[in-house]
Amino acid sequence: IYEEMVATAAAASTPDKRRAVGVACASYCCTGGNGDNAGADLELNPDGSVTNFNTWEDQGQGGDVGTVMHTLKCLEPLGLGPDQVHVVMDDSKYCPDSGMAGGSRSHMMVGHATIDAARKLLQAMRKPDGGYRCYEEMTAAGIPTKYQGYYEVGGLGLVPTDPNTGAGSSSPTLMYGVIMADMEVDRQTGKATCKSYVIVDDIGAVGNPISVEGQAFGGASHCIGFALSENYDDVKKHANMKGAGIPYPQDIPDDLRVYHCLTPRKEGPHGSSGCSELYQSAGHMAVINGIYRASGVRIYELPAYPEKIKAGLD
């Protein structure tokens, strides 16, 4: 893919508008560190559906979709469909504490907590013949229909340690990627434009491809904007989307691709890790490296405004 992008950039490059491809490697952890914990409750409803209660705060990362996917996977023996999974989120009157939504931890932590709750619920529903009790059978037998799940980072065996030093990572799993940006630099004005952007990730198993793709595309737009136009220093000038330099649709290339290297994680829920921060962790440097390779100008302070690049060219 890289060689293909380089060839395309070289063929389109002109003396006035030079093009080149920048590359950056990305990685990110998936927990809040040792002792991080989360809860999630599952309840069997009278109609046979299930409700997941958690506080996976949604900042655009798709906590509702993640909750539904985890629940469906955990309760596969019941043969539920997506419309049979209800979600109650972020209401502390009804939901356990699932921790903060940051560091790509929510997917992993709430996922494991849901697995724990599902294990307890399925165990309670199981009949001696191997089948599963319905809601009426559960209540008639006096068996609870709601179960609390819990997960905590820490404890023997969860976080691998070096037997010689006792040191170990507080992140049971990480995510990795390579990001490539085909950049065009106008030598007359200094304006940089991203012509294509490709992500190759390794985030373990992918549960909902459309949701993950949405994270990747959103992260790409964040990185391009962060590199080229976004500035939040002046609280008056930069207090709205236009003033802060949030990119417009035409600033993001139509040729925006993501490829998955599916490497299931032993420590991740259903073989997955988080994904969202990966797509925002290094893409801005792919853009800056592309500018450097196209123009010879190295930008050391973001954003890479046209006047900065032009000054470097001059």
Dihedral angle at the C-alpha atoms of 207, 212, 213, 216, nearest 10 degrees?
A: -150
Burial 133-145 (b: 16+ CB within 10 A, else e): bebeebeeeeeeb
**What are the residues whose beta carbons fall under 8 Å from the beta carbon of 246, sequence distance 6 or more?**
225, 229, 230
Secondary structure (3-state) at 101 = coil
Q: How far is CA 27 from CA 12, 81, 212, in A?
A: 31, 34, 16
Quote the strand ranges of 30-67, DSSP E.
Answer: 37-44, 50-54
Secondary structure (3-state) at 151 = strand
Catalytically annotated residue among 137, 277, 301, 307 = 277
User: Is position 136 annotated as part of the catalytic site?
Assistant: no
For the chain, the distance separating the N- and C-terminal CA atoms, rounded to the nearest angstrom, is 33
- List, by residue number, the catalytic residues: 277
